[in-house]
Amino acid sequence: MITIALHADNEKKTLLENFCIAYKYILEKYRLIATQATAQHIRLAAGLIVSELLAGGLGGDKQLETAIMNDEIDVLLSFERVDLDTVHESSDHNTLLRLCDFYNIPYATNIPTAECIISSLERHDLDWREELRRK
């Protein structure tokens, strides 16, 4: 089954909640995982079943990284606070994105890209990831 990792900074949790509410009918067909607080927010807001990792700062971000490296994640939706006035470099966030690039995992860092990925999932364009895993 396709696994979607959901990740959001505190300032972006509401945005991710709203996205999950809007696309619940698609997301409920897949395995969802998230760090502790994000999982709780999505469960409460959208009523989706979300496997819960540790809190991000207590190892949940590292669990996501490990899952990517072990080919256990097929898509990452990661919304991070963006501040154009200051340089905000989150090493955990950058590591997640670099790993996705290295392992060819589609990821979105904003709503329009997330909508493109969700549409691809609905059309079964990413089913090839499951086929690869079976070989």
pLDDT of 125 higher than 60? yes
Query: What's residue 130's pLDDT?
Result: 79
The string of DSSP letters for the chain reads --EEEEEE-GGGHHHHHHHHHHTHHHHTTSEEEE-HHHHHHHHHHH----EE---GGGTHHHHHHHHHHTT--SEEEEE----TTS----HHHHHHHHHHHHTT--EESSHHHHHHHHHHHHTTTTTHHHHHHH-
With bands split at pLDDT 50, 70 and 90, how would you rate the model's confidence at 122? very high
27-31: list long-range contacts, CB under 8 Å, 24+ apart: 27/118, 29/121, 30/1, 30/2, 30/3, 30/4, 30/121, 31/1, 31/2, 31/3, 31/4
Distance CA 29, CA 68 (A): 20
Residue 10: CATH number of its domain: 3.40.50.1380
pLDDT over 80 (residue 132)? no
Mean pLDDT (whole number) for 92-100: 83
Whether the predicted pLDDT of 80 surpasses 90: no
In this prediction, residue 58 has a pLDDT band, given cuts at 50, 70 and 90, of: confident
Q: Residues with catalytic annotation? A: 61
**What's the CA gap between 10 and 79, in Å, rounded?**
9
Count of domains forming the chain: 1
Task: Name the average pLDDT for the chain.
Answer: 89
What pTM was computed for the model? 0.90
**Span 20-30, pLDDT tens digits:** 999 999 999 99
Looking at residue 128, what is its pLDDT?
Answer: 82
Query: Which residue range forms the structural domain that includes residue 54?
Result: 3-134
pLDDT of 135 over the 80 cut: no
Model confidence at 95, in pLDDT bands (50, 70, 90)?
confident
